[in-house]
Structure 1
Amino acid sequence: MKFLLLDDHPLFRQALKSITQRLDPAATVFECASYDEARPLLGDDVDLVLLDLRLSGLDGMQVLATLRSQHPALPVVVVSASEDKHEVMEVVRLGALGFVPKASSAEVMEHALRLVLSGSIYLPSHIMPDFEVPAAPQRDSALDLTERQMQVMRLMAQGESNKQIARKLNLAENTVKVHVTAILRELNVSSRAQAIVALFQRGDGPS
């Protein structure tokens, strides 16, 4: 595996590097202090980018937007000293697959990265409740989804991977993928992360 760490603090990069090597001892880890350093290293063979939003002299949100625009298939996880909910919403809207506060423990960070690498998303535990979908949506809901798709959507909003959803609902994983595709189409989004933002903005997300 190949990881790219984009953070201008050497000590924190070292901490991130040790965590990525717990995920894969043979991993190649690129350490960059600026986007100019990172640019030539970005490509299809990078498995995950860890991006600090507080890069010196740069707007981290703009860096994220540029990354997602130029490398749309490249998974990006944001690490930040901030835990502002609006900032979390914005990075997910821009296409990040995770947001991990820098104050998180190494175990939480490792768990978050494993989730993202498995195809799921990660948001801080104190943020996730805000994205839960009502257990019993009204019949006149604007969403044209079946009851089963609503069940899948609730678990998606809780950060569950397709495999976990399949296990909990006693479905084949391929069946879950079909439901997820239908949900994304109904919400007019292209990713699970964007689906969560869409639910929040619709008013279906917060409890």
Structure 2
Amino acid sequence: MNPSLRVLIVDDHPLFREGLCSLLKRLAPQACLTQTSSIDDALTHAPDRFDLVLMDLHLPGTEGLDGLLRMKAHYESAAVVIISGDESPVTIRSAIQQGASGYIPKRTDVNVTIQALQLVLAHGVYLPPEAMLVRPADTPPPPSSPIEPLSERQRAVLRGLLQGKPNKVIAADLGLAEGTIKAHLWAVYQVLGVQNRAQAMYRAHELNLFGALGPERTTL
């Protein structure tokens, strides 16, 4: 684990923030931890200040996914993980679709939470079991060979999606226009038989695509 890991914790309950700090010290003893109780305070830091943001979903002064969207827009290079008492599969799917790198219910076991954060820091996306209870009704059965029809470029775009990156970050990583990324994503959705990011994420978990995609390539 990177000893210089920089983490921002955003929650309006001081005791819960302290609990997260203790957990993070187990994960990365030398991590630099910053706490705040509101989105407005969280956004006063420099955009490149943190590697990981852990935030409650329902904070004072925010509605729905507003807080997540603001944090994602400000901390584009950080992994943003929701830690919330809201366990609605619909809420979880919506958060992932809007770019969250993970969703951890607050009642999650400490060891599971550490494993979830390890997955996120390895550029994966964590989905809790609750998220899999309700599958989108319009999601068709998975194809028999989901990866084979994809080009190397499309696999790179899918890999970026599964890492929770927004389109413009994927575009910057690959040196492509954002419109080109959208076109590649449309092709990926067609191959996977899905209609959006959230469904693609669920399909990836169903088919274990994280391993099938292999490591990132430096050139494509």
TM range (shorter): 0.5 to 0.7
Q: 2:148 aligns with which of 126, 142, 146?
A: 146
Secondary structure of the structure 2 residue equivalent to 1:40: coil
For 1:13, give the aligned amino acid: R
The answer for the alignment partner of 1:96 in structure 2 is 100
Q: CA deviation at 1:106?
A: 1.0
The answer for the alignment partner of 1:106 in structure 2 is 110
* Residue 80 of structure 2 corresponds to residue 76 of structure 1: yes
For 2:96, give the aligned amino acid: V
CA–CA distance in 2 between the matches of 1:89 and 1:46? Answer: 25
* Residue 147 of structure 2 corresponds to residue 127 of structure 1: no
The answer for the alignment partner of 1:50 in structure 2 is 54
Secondary structure of the structure 2 residue equivalent to 1:45: coil
CA contact (8 A) 1:52 1:60 kept: no
Q: 1:42 to 1:99 in 2, by over 3 A?
A: farther
Q: 1:111 to 1:201 in 2, by over 3 A?
A: closer
* Residue 110 of structure 2 corresponds to residue 137 of structure 1: no
Q: 1:19 to 1:56 in 2, by over 3 A?
A: same
What does residue range 169-184 of structure 1 map to in structure 2 within 5 Å?
184=185
Consecutive unaligned residues of structure 1, counting only runs of 5 or more, are 162-182, 189-193
Q: Which moved more, 1:118-127 or 1:88-97?
A: 118-127
For 1:125, give the aligned amino acid: P
Give me the identity figure in percent. 32
The answer for the alignment partner of 1:197 in structure 2 is 198
CA contact (8 A) 1:116 1:122 kept: yes
Q: 1:148 to 1:95 in 2, by over 3 A?
A: closer
Give TM-score, length-normalised by structure 1: 0.67
Q: CA deviation at 1:135?
A: 8.2
Q: CA deviation at 1:138?
A: 6.3
Q: 1:134 to 1:33 in 2, by over 3 A?
A: same
Q: Which moved more, 1:52-61 or 1:18-27?
A: 52-61
CA contact (8 A) 2:27 2:114 kept: yes
Q: CA deviation at 1:23?
A: 1.4
Q: CA deviation at 1:134?
A: 8.2
Consecutive unaligned residues of structure 2, counting only runs of 5 or more, are 164-183, 190-194, 207-220
What does residue range 18-33 of structure 1 map to in structure 2 within 5 Å?
18-33=22-37
Q: Which moved more, 1:61-70 or 1:36-45?
A: 36-45
Pairs aligned (count): 167
Q: 1:200 to 1:49 in 2, by over 3 A?
A: closer
CA contact (8 A) 1:4 1:31 kept: yes
CA contact (8 A) 2:43 2:74 kept: no
Q: 1:18 to 1:70 in 2, by over 3 A?
A: same
CA–CA distance in 2 between the matches of 1:114 and 1:79? Answer: 15
